[in-house]
A and B are shown apart, each in its own frame.
Chain A
């Protein structure tokens, strides 16, 4: 491998960014701020972990934002209106969202359709379904919600590592292990490298496709539950456009949008970079929060340009050896 892998560049950008922010606002470099950053972006980190698998396998999942929205509404209604115990509601929505993802994966594989179209349909479906359930925000007052909100590990320096931040960190670590050290993970990379070749080499492409989208939707479901903890409410308009923030985090994290390369750790760093920009804007106080989007856009553009350059660089030795062959 030549040069720096993209994930190292992401890490450098994060560290540099953090140092710059801390220079201007020394308070940013505290466990309190960092803990809040993790809490605020917990749902994003979870859903981005799933998206990383999808994008490395050469696909895309546009439905995750809608699945989060649907999940919050479903959970809120189940607990508050239908009288379902919260844990049962959680299990039900996770089964439902996993099934939803599996169905999208099956459609993509069986009918050989572009994931973009299938998950776009899934996005409208899930968003529409959440409006069917309820158009208004449903507050959740179940005791488990206050218990979870109150729970936190004390960090030195007064910071709090909340339950949802812990869930997110666990999922990120679990996702990274799954992707790096298992046969499933290797097959995800294989699919993104070349579907036809992967199939010829014995990878069960259909089963893998179903599982990858199932994983993404399942994690979107978990992200939805976490989001409902975060806001203590269910609302059909929540997490609109989150699929795009997620894709941005994955790409900034160094995952190739065309598949075949990337890492969960990079995605996590990408989420943190987005969170850091948001935090900086909060500290500044005079900037519009939409500057987050602008900064994300600039970063995204820079990373895509960087990846293209790296890909071109990686191809060069091959071209050179072909030149020698000729």
Chain B
């Protein structure tokens, strides 16, 4: 797409937008500029503020400060509907249309052609057919939308938005559930719309796609603007550095030198393990006394790998083994039975039970493992809780305090204690240091290494590369839902991990989703 220095005001101009949720500053003084006819990628890791920015622009959240201008005119939408009237339309990953209505009804809901209070069904179908025809889609518009593929649903959503005279189209992860061919169709449509002068904001985790389709890239990190670049002149490695915020500090693995992992016994192994549409088949060996780090961008398949390993998600291919014996992992119960533990990323929703006390939270998994007919006596509970409160230094050291009142770091320790109480052989930690203050951070890392020295096998996911480098004996690198590299010993350093993430191998990327 050709670009000329534009004397006219940009299509969408966002200046100095800030938004706080309580004490958390989700967006700080963010600027964003979208020109007419361009495809502009908005990138950032989890918590970078992408979705907050989108929601601030589309009026879903009120903003604390900042202005939004469309073609130079200030707008202040207060709802998604108002944003639409101002010409800003959003198509979310989970298509926000109605699967039970016909395609035509979806396109014209609440604005159907009417005569004498009656919807003109034939006229509506004719118009729907014409509208979709413009997008190269020739389908039966009277069939329910839900009977079509996600790609068709996306195109329908886009067609509706464009027909509502949207000039700014925000596509939030539109390709996440599409196959390669469907992505091509979508990209064609995006280029065609851009050619008509519509500005498109493209949010995606798939860097290959970003490079394929976008003209410019804006990167956010921790609620701040990192930079805006021309896609063509931004090397991939540089982009990932912008997203992860790493200066190439050459930290090498502190453990690498002492690691003699080859000699260690294998605790659990996974061969050709995977699930279609979830994670490509991978081989993974976890050994006693060893920390394996999972590195990769958000959406690269880290959490998905962890869930497969624990049994929270059912693999459809491959073989899992524990201490050499094949096992079946069909549910988290199986995982627990084989001595696996899993501390999920979303502590608040998937992990702790905020209303219960520290003691009750700690004994939860152990009690579940023992079964209901063998209750832990109160004395045993007190003993276990007391032991872990002391061992992990949970503060305040009061086992009877509701967990919800503890700080993030201490909640994380309670979660750890819950699984340690079941004396696991393998512990999976998903972002164990997210949302924890710096002091507690170091403590969690120290704990990880101590546990490992006690012979536990650990699989740790983290976005903090220096952290992964510090405690891992091996690092598995993921990209686009596939394991793409494994680093051991001396090879573990940030620049190698970044290089593996950035490696431009479209083939692997597409296999990742194939």
Instruction: Enumerate chain A interface residues (CB-CB to B < 8 A).
Output: 1, 181-183, 186-187, 189-190, 192-194, 196-203, 260-261, 314, 317-318, 321-326
Contact = CB atoms under 8 A, between A and B. Distances in A.
A186 B109 contact: yes
Interface residues of B, number: 36
B100 interface: yes
B99 A200 contact: no
B112 A314 contact: no
Given A197-B96, A201-B96, A182 B117 contact: yes
A266 to B, nearest CB: 15
Given A1-B147, A182-B117, A314-B147, A325 B101 contact: no
Contact of B119 (A186, A193, A194, A201): A186
Given A183-B110, A321-B149, A193 B98 contact: yes
A321 B110 CA distance: 30
B351 interface: no
A314 B98 contact: no
27 contacts: A1-B144, A183-B110, A183-B112, A186-B109, A186-B119, A187-B109, A187-B110, A190-B98, A190-B101, A190-B105, A193-B99, A193-B101, A194-B99, A196-B96, A197-B97, A200-B80, A201-B109, A202-B84, A260-B98, A314-B147, A318-B146, A322-B150, A322-B177, A325-B177, A325-B178, A325-B179, A325-B513
B440 interface: no
A12 to B, nearest CB: 22
A155 to B, nearest CB: 31
Nearest to A56: B100
Given A189-B100, A190-B105, A199-B80, 8 more contacts: A183-B114, A186-B119, A194-B99, A198-B109, A260-B100, A317-B147, A326-B179, A326-B278
B276 interface: yes
Contacts of B80: 199-200
Contacts of B105: 186, 189-190
Interface of B: 80-81, 84, 96-101, 105-106, 109-112, 114, 117-119, 121, 143-144, 146-147, 149-150, 160, 177-179, 182, 276-278, 513-514
A183 B121 CA distance: 11
Nearest to A202: B110
A322 B277 contact: yes
Contact of A324 (B117, B146, B179): B179
A139 B248 CA distance: 92
Nearest to B278: A326
Contact of B100 (A202, A261, A321): A261
A75 to B, nearest CB: 31
A317 B425 CA distance: 41
Contacts of B114: 183
A318 B143 CA distance: 14
Prevailing SS type, chain A contact patch: helix
A4 to B, nearest CB: 15
A203 B97 CA distance: 12
Interface residues of chain B: helix, strand, loop or mixed (majority): loop
Nearest to A194: B98
A56 B514 CA distance: 38
A182 B118 contact: yes
Instruction: Count chain B CB atoms within 10 A of each CB in A187, A196, A202, A203 and give the residue with the most.
Output: A202
Nearest to A315: B146
A189 B118 CA distance: 16
A193 B80 CA distance: 19
B276 A186 contact: no
A200 B164 CA distance: 13
Contacts of A187: 109-110
B143 A1 contact: yes
A215 to B, nearest CB: 16
A314 B96 contact: no
A226 B100 CA distance: 34
Contacts of B278: 326
Contact of B109 (A203, A261, A317): A203
Contact of B101 (A186, A196, A317, A326): A186
Contacts of B110: 183, 187, 201-203
Contacts of A192: 100
A305 B332 CA distance: 29
A181 B116 CA distance: 11
B150 A325 contact: yes
Contacts of B96: 194, 196-197, 200-201
Contacts of A323: 276-277
Given A181-B119, A322-B150, A325-B179, A189 B277 contact: no
Nearest to A198: B98
A79 to B, nearest CB: 35
Given A190-B109, A200-B96, A260-B100, A326 B277 contact: yes
Nearest to B180: A325
B514 A321 contact: no
A304 B143 CA distance: 23
Nearest to B277: A326
B9 to A, nearest CB: 28
A91 B72 CA distance: 56
B482 to A, nearest CB: 12
A316 to B, nearest CB: 11
Nearest to B179: A325
Given A181-B118, A183-B114, A187-B110, A201 B97 contact: yes
Given A183-B114, A202-B109, A314-B146, A325 B99 contact: no
Contacts of A325: 149-150, 177-179, 182, 277, 513
A193 B100 contact: yes
Contacts of A196: 96
A197 B109 CA distance: 11
Nearest to A324: B179
A127 B187 CA distance: 60
A96 to B, nearest CB: 27
A1 B160 CA distance: 23
Nearest to A185: B119
Contacts of B149: 318, 321, 325
Nearest to A321: B149
B160 to A, nearest CB: 8
B110 to A, nearest CB: 4
B119 A183 contact: yes
Contacts of A324: 179
Nearest to B513: A326
Nearest to B514: A326
Contacts of B146: 314, 318
Given A183-B114, A323-B277, A189 B98 contact: yes
